[in-house]
Amino acid sequence: MKMTIIAVVALGLTASFGVAAAGDAAAGKLKFAVCAGCHGPTGAGNEALKYPKLAGRDAAFVSEQLRAFKSGARDNATMKAMTAGLNEADIDNVAAYVATLK
């Protein structure tokens, strides 16, 4: 019985973490408006200015990169400044929205 309870609790925690990390694409779309200034409204990027294409990237990749810019693990002054005001939920939300761009 005790093992069953532990298994149910562990499963519940795992499921809730997955939902939390998924992000809210609608909320992310609002935050992405700032990103669109360089990366374009459809995430197509700007090759001439060396702003990379974001469309087609999965949420895990985008959130990992945003966190790396924010922490300074990835060196880019512009992106560090752009991510400075994002909290963890914002990052997950933007990543979820970017994942919808094709």
pLDDT, averaged in runs of 10, over the chain (102 residues): 50 43 93 98 97 98 98 98 98 99 96
Q: pLDDT value at position 2?
A: 60
Looking at residue 99, its amino acid is A
Q: pLDDT value at position 21?
A: 60
Q: pLDDT value at position 18?
A: 43
**CATH number of the domain located at residue range(s) 2-98 in this protein:** 1.10.760.10
Q: pLDDT value at position 17?
A: 43
Q: CB atoms < 10 A from the CB of 65, how many?
A: 21
**Could you tell me the pTM of the whole model?**
0.79
Q: How far is CA 65 from CA 8, 35, 44, 81, in A?
A: 33, 14, 17, 14
Q: pLDDT value at position 77?
A: 97
